[in-house]
Amino acid sequence: MKRILLPVLISLSFFCYSQRAIDYSNRGYSKGKLEDYHGAIQDFTKSIELEPTALAYYFRGYAKSNLEDYRGAIQDYNKSIELNPEYADAYYNRGYSKAALEDYRGSIQDYNKAIELYPKDALAYNNRGISKAKLEDYRGSIQDYTKAIELYPKDALAYNNRGISKAKLEDYRGSIQDYTKSIELEPTAYAYHGRGLSKIILGDIDGGCLDLSKAGELGDETAYDTIRDLCN
């Protein structure tokens, strides 16, 4: 899952003292909001040349991440953290970039630090759960998804992810409960697909195939392949 990385902007004057650096950073932020990430990088680079700040490095890392330059993003988040070791979002975003590079252990370390600094970050728990699941620590991932749900009960993705991990542990009834909650909050193809497979495994062929059909209607082309294999 990709987080919306841009936080709500507090006046950059709190972080920059050079007015020209503030102007470049503000323009870079606006370009980032418009998804002009190349332009944002240029402006934040100029701001950093005038006055290097944790926030300018952070936003430049964000822009690089959106261009899938995860190694470059990590370099900028490193610098942001060096300048402000208490910057929870920088740890979170560095963890996201590490996960994108399949460095799941490194991402977990960063999510750990982000959670230490801001224990109410449901997304950090959710993403740490994803990294744990990638390492096949499904019980650990369930614990993280559960915490994410406690912090934000309307998190459809956390329910879906917990359903996946429960299915990996062959708790198919539990997975169905989580997929169902995910669908109630936000009907998605992947939640219907996962619930359909769990139903079929438990012998509910008709119910499972109906879910797979719904997944296909929502754009999951692979669901039709699964229907051909399991429902005919």
Residue 9 has pLDDT above 90, yes or no: no
- C-alpha 130/C-alpha 138 separation (Å) is 9
CA dist., res. 62 & res. 69, Å (int): 10
Q: Which two tokens stand for residue 205?
A: 């062929």
Instruction: Give the confidence band of 232 by pLDDT, cuts at 50, 70, 90.
Output: confident
Rounded to whole angstroms, the Cα distance separating 73 from 80 reads 10
Task: Using alpha carbons, select from 200, 204, 198 the residue that is nearest to residue 179.
Answer: 198
Mean pLDDT (the chain) is: 92
Tell me the domains of the chain and their CATH numbers: 14-171 (1.25.40.10), 187-232 (no CATH)
Mean pLDDT for the stretch of residues 31-43:
95
Q: What digits encode the pLDDT tens for the residues 152-198?
A: 999 999 999 999 999 999 999 999 999 999 999 999 999 999 999 99
Among residues 137, 97, 98, 144, the alpha carbon closest in space to that of 121 is found at: 144
pLDDT band at 13 (very low <50, low <70, confident <90, very high): very low
